[in-house]
Amino acid sequence: MRKGLFILLALLATVEIQAQSVAEIARTKPQIKLSILPMFHLDNAFMLGAEIPMGNGRFSLQPEFGYGPAQSNLWYEWWFHDSYPDKTTIRTKLQFRSYFKEGSVFRGYYGAEYSYLQSDFNQDHSYMDNGLPVVINPLELRRTSHAVHGIMGWQGYFSNRLTIDFQFGFGLKATENRSLTPGIPQDELDKIKLDERKWLGRSLSLGQYGPFPSFMTAISIGFVLGKVN
């Protein structure tokens, strides 16, 4: 009895706990990402991405792609607005991360990202040219925006499969609203407004804006791929 107790104590004191933490499991494995906030943006998109670890999990690269029609836009639902514009949005993003802190259920990182947004509008426009009505149907308009942000973020682990990311960033964004339909005189181009709601001081007129400072936040849910014991 006494002997057994001593052996047990000695074992308890010497043997390290070998279990892997969820952060260690996720570190070297790729993840599928679903970005939450773009679904609630005026430029709505269902955005999926993948986080690809590099350098034994010290760094990672995360490309994301999103697509969204205005039909599924929250801000044009009936309780806000009675109709929606003919608009589709494409978003892409490429994020580089460097993890600087690892706990047992979270990891902290900083990094940089480039993001691109493109919204295509089809709407009508008519004007008088030398007393004759000119109707452009459809008038094709496009907003493109390029942004670069430095980011800080935090990745938490619900289980060894499910993760969540919170991040924020500050950087620069340049936007251009332009017409894809050729042959419209300049004074008519100046009158064209994008058929869209106002959103955070964004311009609805055609033109180039920026680069201006920009703030971004992102929340994404991740699913760890690969073999997990």
Kindly state whether residue 215 participates in binding another protein, applying the rule CB under 8 A.
yes
From residue 209, alpha-carbon distances to 119, 174, 188 in Å are: 15, 6, 19
The answer to whether the beta carbons of residues 156 and 104 sit under 8 Å apart is no
Q: Is 18 a binder of another protein (CB under 8 A)?
A: no
Residue among 128, 134, 133 nearest 181 (CA)? 134
In 10 A of CB 185, how many CB atoms?
10
Of 10-18, 129-137, 180-188, 189-197, the segment contacting another protein by CB under 8 A is 10-18
Which C-beta is closer to another protein: that of 65 or that of 209? 209
Total chain residues near another protein (CB under 8 A): 19
Residue with smaller CB distance to another protein, 31 or 214? 214
Q: Does 104 bind another protein (CB under 8 A)?
A: no
Establish if 205 lies at the interface with another protein (CB under 8 A). yes
User: Of the ranges 28-36, 44-52, 58-66, 201-209, which one interacts with another protein (CB under 8 A)?
Assistant: 201-209
154 binds another protein (CB under 8 A): no
Whether a cis peptide bond, with omega within 30° of 0, leads into 185 is: no
Q: CA geometry: angle at 200 spanning 96 and 215, to 5°?
A: 25
**Can you list the alpha helix ranges (DSSP code H) found in the chain?**
2-14, 22-27, 186-189
Q: Choose one: 79-87, 114-122, 154-162, 195-203; the region binding another protein (CB under 8 A).
A: 195-203
| Closest CB to another protein among residues 145, 163 | 145
CA atoms within a 13 Å half-sphere pointing along the CA-CB vector of 195: 19
Nearer to another protein (CB atom), residue 65 or residue 154: 154
Q: Is the dihedral of CA 201, 202, 207, 212 positive or negative?
A: positive
Q: Which of 1, 14, 135, 187 binds another protein (CB under 8 A)?
A: 14
Q: Which of 170, 180, 217, 223 binds another protein (CB under 8 A)?
A: 170
Minimal distance, residue 36 CB to another protein, in Å: 23
Does 13 interact with another protein (rule: CB under 8 A)?
yes
Write out the two tokens for 59: 């760094």
Give the gyration radius of the chain's Cα atoms. 25
List of residues contacting another protein (CB under 8 A): 3, 6-7, 9-10, 13-14, 170, 175, 201-203, 205, 209-210, 212-215
